[in-house]
Structure 1
Amino acid sequence: MASSLSGLRVVDFSRVLAGPFATMLLADLGATVTKIERPHTGDDTRSWGPPFDPGGQSTYFQSVNRNKDSVTLDLSTKDGVEVARQAVRGADVVVENFRPGLLDGLGLGYAELSAANPGLVYCSITGFGRERGAELPGYDLLVQALGGLMSITGTPDGEPQKVGVAVVDVFAGLFATVGILAALRHRDATGEGQWVEVNLLSSLLAALVNQGAAFTSGGVVPARMGNQHPSIAPYEVLPCAEGDLVLAVGNDRQFGALCTVLGTPELADDARFATNTARVGNRSALRAELVHLLATRTAAEWAKELTAARVPAGVVNDMAGAFRLATELGLAPIVGLPRADGTEVRLTRNPIQLSATPPAYRSAPPQLACD
C-alpha cells in the first residue's frame, strides 16, 4: 500500500530515545531513515540491558529503531564529517540531539547544512534549550524532577516518584514529529526548509496540561495525591475483596450508575456527593463509603458489572494483561519483524490508523553496521 511519507529521506544523528522515537514514527509512515551511529558501540541503548530479546538484542534499542538503515561514521574525523555532509545534501530531514553547538563546530549545524540544502528541515532536540540551559544534561529522570512531574507523582507521604517509563523523551519525540511534519507542509507550499527545535523541559511543561494550568491560570501549586485526581472524584484505585479496582467517574450520571450497581442509589442524592465539586470536597468520606461497599466482591466482578452499566472501571493489569486485553479487543498490538539471521523481533504496533496510507513494518531494527 502507499505510504504517507514515501520518498522522504531522513538522516538521523540522534541517540537513545526522543530522537530515535521521532524518526521511527517517520519511518513507519514511509520515510527512508538512515541512522548514523558511532563505530563499534553505536547508539548507547544497544548495550542497555537486560532485558534482551531471544536474538540477544537490547529490547530498549529495538523499541524505537525499526524500519531504519544504519551507517557507522566517526564524526571526529574529516572523512566521517564529509560523508555525513554528502548524505545530508540529498536529504529532506535531519534529526539530532547532540549537546547544543557540537554539530556546528563540525560543520554539521543548521546554518551550514541549510546553505547547501535550502529545503532542509533540521530538527534539534535538547534537554533544556540551546542557550542558558545548553550545558545541562538532558536525562529523562532529571527532567521529570526539575520539570515538576515527580512532585505530582507518588503518595502524599512518600518520596517523589518518576513515571515508570521515560515519558518526557516520548513527549519530546512526539512534539518533534509534529514539528517536522508542520515544517514539511510549509516546505511543500514554499520550497523553504526551517529549523525545528524541541527541548525536553518545554515538552514536559506542555504535557502537564491541567496540572500546569492549575499553576499558570489558577495560582495553585499541585502536590502528590497518589492515584487520586485533583479535580474529579471518585477517580482512583480502590481495594476490593480480591484485587484493586480503578474507578474513573467523570460525571454525575456515571456516579449515579455506580451507586446503583453498588446497591446504594441513595448515595447519589447525598448532598456531600451529589455533584463532582461536592465529591471532590468530600473525597475522604466518599472513599470510606466506597471501600466499605466494594469489600464484598472481587475487583474483576465489580469491573464487569460496572462496565456493563457504562461506568469507567477496570482492574490493574500487568504488562501481560495489558497486551492480552488489546489482543482481545482486536487491536493487534504486536507486530513481528524477521531478521536476516532467522530470528524475529516482536514490537508494539504504531497506534496511528490511516485508511489510505497506514504505517508499514518493513524491517527489523538494524544490526550495527560494523558487526
Structure 2
Amino acid sequence: MKLRRVVVTGMGALTPIGNNLEEYWEALKNGVSGAAPITHFDASKFKTQFACEVKNFNVFDFIDRKESRRLDKFSQFAVIASDEAIKDSAMDLESIDKSRVGVIWGAGIGGLETFQEEVINYSKGDGTPKFNPFFIPKMIADIAPAHISMRNGFMGPNFTTVSACASSANALIDALNYIRLGVCDVVVSGGSEAAVTIAGMGGFNAMHALSTRNDSPETASRPFDGERDGFVLGEGAGALVLEEYEHAKARGAKIYCEVSGGGMSSDAYHLTAPHPEGLGVMAVMRNCLKDAGVNPEEVDHINTHGTSTPLGDVAELKAISTVFGEHAKEISINSTKSMTGHLLGAAGAIEAIASILPLTEGIIPPTINHTTKDEKIDPELNLVLNNSEKRDIKISMSNTFGFGGHNACVLFRKYEE
C-alpha cells in the first residue's frame, strides 16, 4: 500500500511569549523569555513562585461569555489556537467534506484548574455534595477536541492522546498516519495545557522538578547550561492543520512543509527520570528516521526536548551524538523551552511549529540563558546558544518526551512539489 503524502497548511499558537502565530515566531527569533512571577494565584509560600503564563489574555476576545464558562482554560486555549490554524489554512468550511476531517489533540493533564476548584469548594462546605454540572465535561482531557469538532462540524475521528509531555507529538503522529492511510483528508491536531495552578505548581515542586530561581525568573529556563536546576512550567496551546498533499494542492492551499515521519518508543526505565544512556531517545529518533525514509546525515536541525533538567539534557544530547555520529556536529541543536517554559502536553505542538518555521524562514531560534558550560555535554555539538542562527535547512526534527518514559519524535521536510 502506497502511503499518501501529508503537509501542513495551517498553524495557530497561544503561548507565554505570543498570543498568535506571528507574535510567537517574532519572540522566538528574538530570544524573549516568557517566565515571570505567577499572577494566577498567590504563590508567595511556594518553592517556585514563577512560571511561563499566557499574558494579556482575555478569553472574551475570542469566545463569548456563556460558552467560555463551559470550558476549562485548557479547552479555551485549544479552541483559540485551532481557530487561528483553521483560518490560516484558508479551508472553505462550507464546501469541504467534514466527514473526512478529524481532530486529534494532546493533553497531558486536562482540566486541572476545574478539578482543583470543585474539590476546594466542596472542602469548604458541610459535606453536602454541591458540584457544578459542567465539572466532569470541563475536566476530562478528551473534551478539547470535542469542542473543536462541534465548533466546526468536523465529523471525522475525534480523540485525545495522553502521554504526559509527549501527548501532542503523539497526536501529530496519529494525525499523520490517519491521513497517510486514507482515513482522513484533513486533521486538526495539536495540544493544550493549563497547569499553572495551585495543584500543578505544588505537585511539581513536591517532585523537585521545577527550577527555584525565584530571584531571576526570566533566566530560570536554561537548557544545556551548567547551572540549570529544573524546568519552568508553562501554559498555552499549539494547533496545526495536517492535510493530504493532493487535497491541499487541489484547493490551492499554501503549504508550510511536509510531515515525513514520526517515531515512538519507551524508556521502560523510571517513572520520571530518563534512561541515563538515552536508550529510549536513541530508539525514538531511529524509528522516526526509518519511518520518514531519511538518512541521519540529511538532518539539519533538531529542536530538542531540552527541559533544563540536570539529567534529561545530558541524556538527550548523548543520544543525539550516538544516533548521528560525526554528523551530530553539523546539526543545529536548540531548545525553545528556554523561552516558553515547558507546556507539558502542549509542548510537542508549539515545538513542532518552532521546528517548521525555520524551514520556511531560514532562521533557527536560540536556546537562551546559557552562561556556563556543562562538562558532561560534548563541546563539539552545534548548540544554538543565546542568538538565532541563520541557516537554510531542509529537514527538521522535534523531540518530545514524557514522564513514564514516553518518547515521540516528528520529522518535517521543506516543501518541494
Smaller-chain TM-score bracket: under 0.3
Larger Rg computed on CA atoms: 1
TM-score, normalised to structure 2's length? 0.24
Greater relative contact order (CA < 8 Å, ≥ 6 in sequence)? 2
TM-score, scaled relative to structure 1: 0.26
